[in-house]
Amino acid sequence: MKLSSVAASVAASALLGSCTGGEIPVRLQSEGALAVAGAQLHYWVAGSGPPVVILHGGPGIGAAYLLSELDAPGFPPDGLQWVAYDQRGSGRSTGAEDLSQITMDRFVEDLEVVRQATGQERMALFGHAFGGLLALHYAIRYPEHVAAMILLDPDPASRELWAQHDSIIEARLTDEDRMIMTAISSGENWEADPVTAENYYLARFQAYFGRREAAVRLRLGLAQGVYGNFPKTALAMQASLGDWDIFDELAGLDVRTLIVTGDQSVFPLAAHERLAAVLSRSELVVLPGVGHFPQMEAPDVFAEVASRFLNEVTENRGGGGDA
């Protein structure tokens, strides 16, 4: 089943019981909400086979934007179970009410609950932007549960490298982008209207694309999410991360990893090159003319590269459906 059709295709929805640790006594249905400590995580599941868990960017925005983008011909490959969820305080999930819980440690433990709910010991992680950074943190803590990772223009593994994206974005904003943003933000209480807020951020996100013609497809889905999740959750996570640098912790990680970015990324190429260098079993693919959204800007090439990788890491999988 195509990820882009998941929301329209599912018929069942289940609210799953709370978990306090140990083996999760429930299994994910096609769509529903999974109870974690202090929050409900909205999720979608499609297909059957080894699980691939999708980790969206933001945080705060939710997975809907990413699901609608993964629609290149032949992708995703058959024989895999795709699990997507809105992270704590993101999209249609709750949790932003308690900002003290908007931390990487908490997000990692939320992901572990999702992993247990798949019923599998190992899973592949598919992370975009912040979702890539979350995947790396999870792999550091739970390497035994990670079969492989696909990282799409991931947030850098240090704050020093991550912070450079501000100047990159500012340099790429056009006069028209700034005019639209100024016109929207000059309105009274503009952030209180999800549609108006989405239009503002869509104007800013133009600078994230190397191929701007692809930006017309981007939909953040703020009106469908919990009001206030974005940007409140993103700002809280940024503050909680502090001056991070996890390169040393990643040095011993033995996980097959595909890093896909573009030469017009909003992050310095040096960030991805250093990540590839420190991960001993990694492959870095840099797409020409592509920015922060490889899956949108070069969908056919992205689908070919990602499908090849997924087929390679699953063809020799062991029993029990693990990737």
Predicted confidence (pLDDT) per residue in 138-193, tens digit: 999 999 999 999 999 999 999 999 999 999 999 999 999 999 999 999 999 999 99
Check if the beta carbon of residue 240 is closer than 8 Å to that of residue 267. Answer: no
The domain defined by 3-162+228-315 folds into Rossmann fold (3.40.50)
Report the SS3 class of residue 58.
coil
Check if the beta carbon of residue 118 is closer than 8 Å to that of residue 125. Answer: no
* pTM, 2 dp: 0.90
Per-residue confidence (pLDDT) for residue 73, from 0 to 100: 74
pLDDT: which is higher, 46 or 9 = 46
Q: Rounded to an integer, what distance in angstroms lies between the CA atom of residue 216 and that of residue 40?
A: 31
Average per-residue pLDDT for the chain: 88
**Lowest-confidence region among 11-25, 31-45, 90-104, 281-295:** 11-25
Q: Rounded to an integer, what distance in angstroms lies between the CA atom of residue 158 and that of residue 154?
A: 11
Pinpoint the alpha helices (H) of the chain. 6-9, 64-67, 104-118, 130-141, 159-162, 165-172, 175-185, 194-205, 229-241, 247-250, 269-278, 294-297, 299-314
Largest CA distance in the chain: 58
Strand partners, 51: 81
Report the SS3 class of residue 193.
coil
Report the SS3 class of residue 90.
coil
Amino acid, res. 249: E
Q: Rounded to an integer, what distance in angstroms lies between the CA atom of residue 203 and that of residue 176?
A: 9
Tokens of 147: 């079969």
pLDDT band at 207 (very low <50, low <70, confident <90, very high): very high
pLDDT(15) > 50: no
Write b or e for each residue in 100-121: b if 16 or more Cβ atoms lie within 10 A of its Cβ, otherwise e: ebbbbebbbbbbbbbbbbbebe
Neighbours of 258 (CB within 10 A): 23
Check if the beta carbon of residue 59 is closer than 8 Å to that of residue 41. Answer: no
Nearest to 56 by CA among 92, 9, 8: 92
Tokens of 296: 């949108």
> Half-sphere exposure (CA, 13 Å, Cβ side) for 30?
13
Q: Rounded to an integer, what distance in angstroms lies between the CA atom of residue 323 and that of residue 321?
A: 6
**Lowest-confidence region among 52-61, 110-119, 153-162, 220-229:** 220-229
